[in-house]
Amino acid sequence: MGSTFRARELVLGIEGLALLRSAVDADDGFVERRVAEIRKFAEGEGEGLPGTGAAVNELDAGAGYAIWSSVYDSLPNSFIEVEEPVVHGMLDAGPVGTALDAACGTGRQTVALTSRGHRTIGVDQSPDMLAHARRKAPDAEFREGRLEELPLPDASVDLALSTLALTHLPDPGPAIAELARVTRPGGRVIVSDLHPFVVTLQGQCHFVAGDEALAFVRNYAHQASDYFRAFSEAGLTVRACVEPVFNGRLASGGYEEFIAEAARAAWRDIPIVIVWEAVKPAEDKGSVEGAEA
């Protein structure tokens, strides 16, 4: 069922969050400006906000990314900007081998893997996303498939990577189990996701889906405990967890630019991404030899 984009209400929420977080420590001028802007928007002055009144539809991942794929790489994305340095640092710290980019999208991490010398397999459920990825990373191999049922045999990769994708699943457990399944003993699993803080506060990420229409693919908030449980159940050992915070950059042309001071105060120092590195324990040689005997 469709709905209407409530830009004014979103602005009021951000103003309120900025006031809530700053009421004790902010100067009087900051507080007064927040109250004045809240009053202004509450009284109905929101007609000039981008997207006001646009139809909004929820799409599943397949349909959503088919539309999103054409503009995905051209849109400013603060999540990617704070996530990539962390993920790439983890890639640089590990050995080169066969790598999986699961839910590879347009191939941004596939390029990072191939450029580091990995034999790389990209998997995504969206043929439209894969078309972009093939052009971007022609040396990689690509397969159509889902996170919950990866089209790879057991223990076939040295590194399994999935970035900013598991947020679209109600439960990250089945996808993490699949990443563990296809990883060889001694290999690594690296996962990034939208931080549950920002998903809980912000909700959904909208994108243009036609004339005067917006859409979103639902994000689910996965708590750190959800991930720890999923890694443990998949037989993985967590080696690192990093939580990059908002970098202060607002999306160009978005409604937050109309309330930039409030938006930056609202999101200041809030972690917006969470990045995990886990290892699949190497097989104990003595136990394997004993089992074979």
> How confident is residue 1, by pLDDT bands cut at 50, 70 and 90?
very low
- The CATH number of the domain holding residue 40 is 3.40.50.150
Query: Quick check: is 274 in a domain?
Result: yes
- Tens-digit pLDDT profile for residues 258-284: 899 999 999 999 999 999 999 999 976
Q: For residue 290, is it within any domain?
A: no
Instruction: With respect to residue 184, please indicate whether it lies within any of the assigned structural domains.
Output: yes
Please indicate, yes or no, if residue 92 is contained in any of the structural domains: yes
Domain membership of residue 293 (yes or no) is no
Q: Is residue 268 part of a domain?
A: yes
- 17: domain range? 3-282
Q: Within 13 A of 261's CA, how many CA atoms are on the CB side?
A: 13
Q: For the purposes of burial, counting CB atoms within 10 Å of the CB of 120, is it exposed (0-12), middle (13-18) or buried (19 or more)?
A: buried
Kindly report, residue by residue over 78-134, the tens digit of the pLDDT.
899 999 999 999 999 999 999 999 999 999 999 999 999 999 999 999 999 999 999
What is the count of structural domains for the chain?
1
pTM of the prediction?
Answer: 0.90
Is residue 289 a part of any domain in this protein? no
> Per the domain annotation, does 291 fall within a domain?
no
